[in-house]
């Protein structure tokens, strides 16, 4: 969770009184925050030693979804409303609209969404100016995902002339003087210049390989910024800036709206008319027009009965409405239903998505420590899922046999899941990650083997033999399900030694089948009602002639007709038994790709067919 450093003296001034460390810690806890650190003692010790020291800071830990609390302005505003010192602020748009950015169709190729806002007659102090810059950085690092989804630019409106144009041009056609530089550079040159500047180098890959770069111009063709990298030196804001133009570019429209609302509302209190933001008209390439920021209050409903059922309280609609007002909501009780509260959710609260979020706000305002303690009305006895119980049995038996359990990651690269195991991707098996952060996490694994082999690779220095196992889920695509995928519980083991050890993994399979009370049978034994057997197979993952398929015959009704059917199927080499897994000696090319220099044998099979319903627990 992000941590916000607030100037202690400034925060006390905003709250109207001073608090002791215990009092303020308690206040934050009641509001759902946490005091991470108070630097007062460190500052005093530094002053005693004659060392330079900053003003005392209060470092407050903020929930990841409360973007309105990422600056001292938002924290003080929310706490004052919570304490009943202020009413919830009313954010409003102050017309007329003078800035009219036009968006070029080329921007659809790189950062297709744009929003902007204007703050008029702002009066900054040194600390409020620093807070303004710090909020942008906090948003960039959290919600904006290091500027990949959203990038914010701020400009001195008095140095530029609307209307503005948001375009995308080839990097060689872009030239301007970037912030804190004394000469002009082309966009291509900036990619080289900023490679040595750590605070900007991390953002270069976002647009570096694109044929066009986003760029914002004013009416005089002066560059405002090249998002998401750098602003122009010409339009930089200072302590003396009075009118601020905020530009926001994004690849995600939802996050664009949230950032536009947060950055404009948090610092609108410094305007001559507090909480008023001048909107802008944005004309998109298709001719559609949007007014940004969108400060409309969202209407939602909360019910006192629902709040009471979740918290154990006995509140009426009026009492719940007052609690929600302490959390910056505007509320009124429905004239038609005294149990229903009509809630106007401010644009600063994008974290409110459902009635349960409003219930949580009401519980926070009431006080979690004040909620009544009560035994539940019903009593139940917990028991593990059948598949979890089965997995525990496998883990225990294999551990007792001297094997070590490994816990690799469930995500892996596409190559590891297919190419490195000599398997082909048919496009219908593996679930792909839409926007993987790294090449290591591209797909959800469809086998446990690659994780175990990577574990052996990283532990090559350990003495031989290395014998590890895993019992966990793999994921397959399944269009028949609503979520389009299904989890399957697998068990797998890998033996690594100077000899292949096929008999070792075979014995491990026999051991677990013995503990599951599954007898070993012959594949052509039609009279056997249940059991398992193996048959030779050709599999590119394994050495030729050293691989076998594991078959399982589930218990079924015993009748002359069923035995006859199994006999006929066996004679036609089409048995109706279930293929549950594979075992064998891994192919040398597989070992080479995983950088393992010793032969390995592997075993992997599904546990689902052995799942049994646990006995009902009577209470």
% of the chain residues with pLDDT over 70: 94
- The reported pLDDT for the residue numbered 384 is 81
Q: Are 394 and 471 in contact (CB under 8 A)?
A: yes
Q: Report the alpha-carbon distance of residue 365 to residue 344 in Å, rounded.
A: 17
pLDDT of the residue at 54: 85
Flag the least confident range among 216-225, 320-329, 372-381, 455-464: 372-381
Range with the poorest average pLDDT among 165-179, 318-332, 462-476, 569-583: 569-583
Residue 416 has pLDDT above 70, yes or no: yes
Give residue-wise pLDDT tens across range 540-560.
999 998 899 999 988 875 455
Residue 184: what pLDDT?
93
pLDDT of 118 above 80: yes
- Taking residues 324-334, what's their average pLDDT? 94
Dihedral angle at the C-alpha atoms of 562, 564, 565, 570, nearest 10 degrees?
Answer: 130
**Is 70 exceeded by the pLDDT of residue 617?**
no
Average pLDDT value over all residues in the chain: 88
How confident is residue 616, by pLDDT bands cut at 50, 70 and 90? Answer: very low
Q: Encode pLDDT of 212-269 as tens digits.
A: 999 999 999 999 999 999 999 999 999 999 999 999 999 999 999 999 999 999 999 9
pTM for this entry: 0.67
Once rounded to an integer, what is the mean pLDDT over residues 442-454?
Answer: 92
Looking at residue 158, the DSSP 8-state letter turns out to be G
Give yes or no for residue 304 having a pLDDT over 90: yes
Q: Tell me the per-residue pLDDT of 127-139, one tens digit each, with 9 for 90 and over.
A: 899 999 999 999 9
Pick from 250, 309, 271, 316: nearest CA to 116? 250
Cβ(61)–Cβ(85) under 8 Å? Answer: no
Contact 527, 565 (CB under 8 A): no
- Here the tokens at position 332 are 């009124």
Q: Where does the pLDDT of residue 612 fall: very low under 50, low under 70, confident under 90, or very high at 90 and above?
A: low
% of the chain exceeding 90 in pLDDT? 60
Q: Which pLDDT does position 613 carry in this prediction?
A: 43
b/e string for 399-436 if b means 16 or more Cβ within 10 A?
eeeebeebebeebbbbebbbebbebeeeeeebbeeeee
- Furthest-apart CA atoms within the chain: distance in Å: 98
Residues 6+ apart with CB under 8 A from 518: 530, 531, 532, 552, 610
Cβ partners under 8 Å of residue 217, min gap 6: 164, 165, 167, 223, 224
pLDDT at 485 over 70: yes
pLDDT tier at 572, thresholds 50, 70, 90: very low
Alpha helices (runs of H) in 165-239, residue ranges in sequence order: 187-193, 198-201
Q: What is the DSSP letter of 225?
A: E
pLDDT in tens, 57-108: 999 999 988 999 999 999 999 999 999 999 999 999 887 655 556 666 677 8
Compute the half-sphere exposure of residue 438: CA atoms within 13 Å on the CB side of its CA.
4
Q: Is the dihedral of CA 138, 139, 144, 148 positive or negative?
A: negative
In the block, tokens 């094997």 appear at 403
**Looking at the predicted structure, is the pLDDT value of residue 618 above 50?**
no
Structure confidence at residue 153 (pLDDT): 94
- Please, which pLDDT band fits residue 583 given cuts at 50, 70 and 90? very high
């Amino acid at each position: 969770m992000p941590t916000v450093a607030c100037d202690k003296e400034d925060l006390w001034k905003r709250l109207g009184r001073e608090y002791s460390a215990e009092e303020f810690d308690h206040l934050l806890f009641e509001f759902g925050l946490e005091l991470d650190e108070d630097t007062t003692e460190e500052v005093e010790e530094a002053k005693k030693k004659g060392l330079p020291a900053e003003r005392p800071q209060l470092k407050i830990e903020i929930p990841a979804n409360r973007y309105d609390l990422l600056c001292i302005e938002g924290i003080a505003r929310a706490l004052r409303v919570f304490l009943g010192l202020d009413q919830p602020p009313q954010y409003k748009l102050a017309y007329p609209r003078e800035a009219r950015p036009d968006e070029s169709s080329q921007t659809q190729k790189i950062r297709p969404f744009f929003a902007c806002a204007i703050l008029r007659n702002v009066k900054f102090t040194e600390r409020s100016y620093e807070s303004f810059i710090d909020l942008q950085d906090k948003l960039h690092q959290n919600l904006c995902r290091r500027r990949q989804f959203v990038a914010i630019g701020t400009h001195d409106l008095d140095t530029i002339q609307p209307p503005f144009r948001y375009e995308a041009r080839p990097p060689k056609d872009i030239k301007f003087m970037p912030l804190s530089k004394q000469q002009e550079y082309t966009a291509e040159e900036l990619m080289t210049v900023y490679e040595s500047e750590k605070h900007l180098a991390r953002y270069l890959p976002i647009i570096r390989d694109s044929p066009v770069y986003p760029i914002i111009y004013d009416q005089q063709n002066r560059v405002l910024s090249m998002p998401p990298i750098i602003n122009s030196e010409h339009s930089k804001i200072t302590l003396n800036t009075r009118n601020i133009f905020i530009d926001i570019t994004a690849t995600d429209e939802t996050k664009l709206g949230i950032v536009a609302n947060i950055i404009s509302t948090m610092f609108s209190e410094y305007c001559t008319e507090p909480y008023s933001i001048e909107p802008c008209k944005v004309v998109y390439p298709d001719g559609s027009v949007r007014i940004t920021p969108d400060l409309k209050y969202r209407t939602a409903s909360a019910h006192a009965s629902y709040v009471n059922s979740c918290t154990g309280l006995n509140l009426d609609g009026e009492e719940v409405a007052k609690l929600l007002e302490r959390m910056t909501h505007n509320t009124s009780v429905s004239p038609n239903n005294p149990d229903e509260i009509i809630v106007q959710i401010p644009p600063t609260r994008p974290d409110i998505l459902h009635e349960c979020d409003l219930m949580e706000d009401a519980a926070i305002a009431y006080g979690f420590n004040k909620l009544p303690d009560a035994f539940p009305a019903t009593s139940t006895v917990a028991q593990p899922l059948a598949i979890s119980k089965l997995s525990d049995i496998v883990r225990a038996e294999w551990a007792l046999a001297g094997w070590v359990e490994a816990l690799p990651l469930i995500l892996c690269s596409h190559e590891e899941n297919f190419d490195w195991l000599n398997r082909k991707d048919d496009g219908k098996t593996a679930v792909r990650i839409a926007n993987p952060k790294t090449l290591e996490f591209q797909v959800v694994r469809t086998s446990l083997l690659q994780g175990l082999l990577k574990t052996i690779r990283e532990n090559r220095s350990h003495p031989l033999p290395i014998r590890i196992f895993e019992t966990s889920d793999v994921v397959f695509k399944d269009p028949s399900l609503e979520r389009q995928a299904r989890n399957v519980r697998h068990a797998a083991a890998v033996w690594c030694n100077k000899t292949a050890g096929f008999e070792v993994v075979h014995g491990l399979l026999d051991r677990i089948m013995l503990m599951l009370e599954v007898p070993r049978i012959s594949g052509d034994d039609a009279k056997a009602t249940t059991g398992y057997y193996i048959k030779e197979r050709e599999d590119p993952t394994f050495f030729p002639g050293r691989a076998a398929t594991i078959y399982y015959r589930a218990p079924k009704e015993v009748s002359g007709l069923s035995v006859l059917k199994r006999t006929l199927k066996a004679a036609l080499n089409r048995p109706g038994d279930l293929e549950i897994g594979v075992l064998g000696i891994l192919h040398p090319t597989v070992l080479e790709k995983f950088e393992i220099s010793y032969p390995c044998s592997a075993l992997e099979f599904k546990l689902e067919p052995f799942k049994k319903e646990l006995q009902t627990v009577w209470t």
